[in-house]
């Protein structure tokens, strides 16, 4: 993996042990190469959330001026929706407490991971 890419996975038991993988990298190209897949949205990015199989990825660019907790929060909304789709869940608009707890948990895990990089802004 080297210095180009760093990752951390967590597993959500309540969602069928679905894997959520946080990645930091300088470019989408290095992520694409590491995961052996091609991305339609190109190689320049601030952040991205995507699914391969039953793994939800949340990726932030270390070279972006938006390498921060705001970008993480943005991408986690996409990740939360991918998790729901993969588990056949339709979130209730009148009671979004489950969504809020999930995003809070994911944010704490992602923030702890990305905070290990001195350039990450909380």
pLDDT tens digit string along 58-115?
999 888 888 999 999 999 999 999 999 999 999 888 989 999 999 999 999 999 999 9
Residue 20 lies in a domain: yes
pLDDT at position 1 is: 43
Say how many C-beta atoms besides its own lie within 10 A of residue 105's C-beta: 14
How many domains does the chain contain in total? 1
Token output for 62: 């270390």
pLDDT at position 2 is: 47
Residue 49 lies in a domain: yes
Token output for 76: 């986690």
pLDDT at position 3 is: 60
Token output for 54: 């039953």
Q: What is the pLDDT of residues 17-49, one digit of tens each?
A: 999 999 998 877 788 888 877 665 555 678 889
Reduced to 3 states (helix: H, G, I; strand: E, B; else coil), residue 97 is helix
| pTM (2 d.p.) | 0.89
**Which residue segment(s) compose the domain that 14 sits in?**
2-114
């Amino acid at each position: 993996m080297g210095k180009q890419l760093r990752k951390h996975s967590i597993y959500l038991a309540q969602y069928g042990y679905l894997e959520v993988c946080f990645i930091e990298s300088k470019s989408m190209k290095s992520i694409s190469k590491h995961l052996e897949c091609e991305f339609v949205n190109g190689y320049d990015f601030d952040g991205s959330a995507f699914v391969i199989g039953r793994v939800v990825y949340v990726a932030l660019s270390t070279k972006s001026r938006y390498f921060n907790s705001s970008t993480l929060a943005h991408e986690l909304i996409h990740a939360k929706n991918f998790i729901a789709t993969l588990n056949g869940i339709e979130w209730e608009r009148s009671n979004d407490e489950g969504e809020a707890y999930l995003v809070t948990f994911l944010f704490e895990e992602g923030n702890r991971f990305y905070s290990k990089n001195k350039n990450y802004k909380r």
